[in-house]
Amino acid sequence: MLQRQWARSSTPGMLAPEMTRKSKAKPNGKKPASEEKKMYLEPEHTKSRITDFEFKELVVLPREIDLNEWLASNTTTFFHHINLQYSTISEFCTGETCQTMAVCNTQYYWYDERGKKVKCTAPQYVDFVMSSVQKLVTDEDMFPTKYGREFPSSFEALVKKICKYLFHVLGHIYWAHFKETLALELHGHLNTLYIHFILFTREFSLLDPKETAIMDDLTEVLCCSPGGGGDGDGASGGASGAQNHVKER
């Protein structure tokens, strides 16, 4: 089986369903996405990558590799790298600076295993995500690594759930901490990671276009431009443009 790796977090938690509700509140005191200038969309920043590799070729399922094993290996690797990317700006993501888990005009809430809505700051939300995903990728019943072990029948649905939460973390880094990422000169790493992640999830339909629509402007620039590795078909069809209200999920 392919070798897999993971990163560590601290707070235990379980992946749980989310609910969507509209609100007029403004996350973190920021202006709605339609009014906020997105620094990460500036050409001088979007062209920054750590490699010009054609990621469209990299994400394709290799011959003679089991689909579930390919999904498991890549999902675990993305978890590791997104956790690492977040750790570079974690000191700036505090309960004071990020009172909600905000991405553009959307703010996310955590729901526990009983479906109870948990009000939490962005760092708490990220910790819930990383702890839950770590628990899953180290569970032999969910992510088997030993020869002869079978993947559960619900494995693809589980991977989709993990990718959704990892997307939230990536989105928050861009939305709330791109300035710090830029100061650390790690925006090339972030862009490259985003391109790889989005193209992989597209290849295997792991993310609902409605879920990723909030970042379609960035996806269009990074994944569908020369050197982005995309197929040039534009951003996912779920985009409907920036909205003036803030959505809760």
Annotated binding site for Zn(2+): 93, 98, 172, 177
Tens-binned pLDDT, residue by residue, of the chain (249 aa) = 444 443 333 333 445 534 333 333 344 444 443 335 788 899 889 888 887 777 788 899 999 899 999 999 999 999 999 999 999 999 999 999 999 999 988 999 998 888 888 889 999 999 999 999 999 999 999 999 988 889 999 999 999 999 999 999 999 999 999 999 999 999 999 999 999 999 999 999 999 999 999 999 999 989 875 555 554 444 443 333 333 334 566
Report the predicted TM-score, pTM, of the whole model to 2 decimal places: 0.79
Residue 49: the pLDDT is 81
Report phi then psi at 46, rounded to 5. Answer: -70, -25
What is the four-CA torsion angle of 140, 145, 150, 155, rounded to 10 degrees?
A: 70
Helix axes 187-203, 216-223, angle to 10 degrees: 100
Residue 115: the pLDDT is 86
HSE-CB of 47 using CA atoms within 13 angstroms:
4
Annotated binding site: 93, 98, 172, 177
For residue 35, the one-letter residue type is: E
Residue 148: the pLDDT is 84
Residue 248: the pLDDT is 62
Residue 225: the pLDDT is 59
Whole-angstrom distance, CA of residue 35 vs CA of residue 245: 11
CB 107 within 8 A of CB 174: no
Contacts of 64 (CB under 8 A, 6+ apart): none
Residue 51: the pLDDT is 77
